[in-house]
Amino acid sequence: MNFVYFKVDSLPYEKNHQVSFYLKGVELLRDGDIIATPGDIKITELPFFYFCIVPTGFRKIEFRLKNSPPSRIVCSVGYLKTGEYLVNTPDGEVILPFNALNGLWSLEQTTIDHRDFLARRFTLIRPVKNTTRNTSVN
């Protein structure tokens, strides 16, 4: 299984954090086949992230929308990259490192895969900010 993301953000020189619009009929595709259907998404803050787990594959991830985002808003999609992510756990939010090469999360003194990640009822929130450049890790 692979983790994939769908990201909605403003252009780099535009820093509009408060917004309100809908993206209708969002679908994530690989080789023209639908691999995830987030559906209608209300965007109220940028950047917005949607994460999901899909069957293993290495072809490019693409997206399709039934409407267009407002001008100066960009959407992107792809596989989760190596880095640190804010994760919601039953005990609260924690920062967990993810290794995209082996698909494992580092948790205390052990590593867990996507099945254990889901079994523990963890959910991804967003990438952790890079403190040196104030940019998202992704």
Q: What is the pLDDT along the chain (138 residues), one digit of tens a residue?
A: 788 999 999 887 777 667 899 999 999 999 999 999 999 999 998 889 999 988 888 899 999 999 999 888 999 999 999 999 999 999 999 999 999 888 899 998 999 998 899 999 999 999 997 544 444 444
User: Which residue segment(s) compose the domain that 127 sits in?
Assistant: 83-136
pTM here is 0.80
90 and 120 fall within a common domain: yes
Q: How many domains does the chain have?
A: 2
Report the distance separating Cα 19 and Cα 35, nearest Å: 28
Omega cis (within 30) before 47:
yes
Establish how many alpha carbons lie within 13 A of residue 21's alpha carbon, considering only the half-sphere containing its beta carbon. 18
Q: From the CB of residue 92, how many other CB atoms can be counted at a distance below 10 Å?
A: 7
Q: From the CB of residue 20, how many other CB atoms can be counted at a distance below 10 Å?
A: 9
Report the distance separating Cα 6 and Cα 52, nearest Å: 9
Q: What is the dihedral of CA 64, 66, 72, 77, to 10 degrees?
A: -20
Q: Which of 79, 96, 128 is the last residue of a domain?
A: 79
